Amino acid sequence: MMKDSSKSLQKSIEWLRGLSDGVAGNQIEIIPVKGIRQVKAHTGYLLCDFIIPDSLADEIGNWHAGAIAALIDTVGSMPVHSFTSRDSVSIDFSISYYSTVKVQEEVEVEAKVVGDKENLTSVIVEIRKKKNIELIALVKQWMSTTKRNLALHPVSNL
C-alpha cells in the first residue's frame, strides 16, 4: 500500500461524488452511477447505496444487466485507487447474477480489495437489495494499475 492512502481515499470519494452528480468523468461512467451515495469508505473499501433510476431499466422494468456491469466496473476501481494511489483498468471481470431488481428499488453496493501483487489488484463487488439483503450480483475482478493519477475531468459526450 502507498504511504499517502488518505489523499488517495479522498480523491476516490471526490471522483465518485463527481460522477454521481454528473460533473466529472464521461457519459459511460456517469450514466450507470448517477445518484449513487457513498455510505462508508476507507482504504481499499467502499460501501454505497443506489436507487435504480428508470433510465437503467430493461424491457420488463428490471435493472439492466449491462448497466449493473458498468456500475460495478466504475465502483470497483474506487477502492483500488484508494489502496494503490493509481488509476486502474479491468483485465479480468467475472460477474454472477443471482436475482433481479426493479427500477426505483434501493440496493447496497460493497467493493473491497482482497488481493494485491505488483500492478495487479483483486476486488470483490457485491450488490444486494437494501430491504432484504438478497444478493443481486457478485463480481470477482482483477485490475491493473496505471501510472497516471486519478483526476477530475469535465464531462465529455461520447
Per-domain residue ranges of the chain = 5-145
Task: Specify the pLDDT at position 92.
Answer: 84
Radius of gyration of the chain (CA): 15
Please name the residue that has the C-alpha cell 448517477.
34
Q: For the beta carbon of residue 135, count every other beta carbon within 10 angstroms.
A: 13
- For residue 152, the one-letter residue type is L
Which run of H or E residues covers position 56?
Answer: none
Burial class (CB in 10 A: 0-12, 13-18, 19+), 55: exposed
Q: Which of 29, 4, 28 is nearest to 16 (CA)?
A: 29
CA 93, CA 111: separation in Å to the nearest integer?
14
Please name the residue that has the C-alpha cell 479480468.
92
Confidence category of residue 71, pLDDT binned at 50, 70, 90: very high
The model's pLDDT over 8-61, given as tens digits with 9 standing for 90+, comes to 888 888 888 878 887 877 787 888 889 999 999 999 999 999 999 999 999 999
Strand 88-97 to 135-145 pairing: antiparallel
pLDDT tops 80 at residue 108: yes
Cα three-residue angle 102-103-106, rounded to 5 degrees:
85
Task: Specify the pLDDT at position 20.
Answer: 80
Fold of 5-145: Thiol Ester Dehydrase; Chain A (3.10.129)
To the nearest 10°, report the CA torsion of 49, 120, 113, 109: 20
CA 72, CA 116: separation in Å to the nearest integer?
19
The model's pLDDT over 129-145, given as tens digits with 9 standing for 90+, comes to 999 999 999 999 998 88
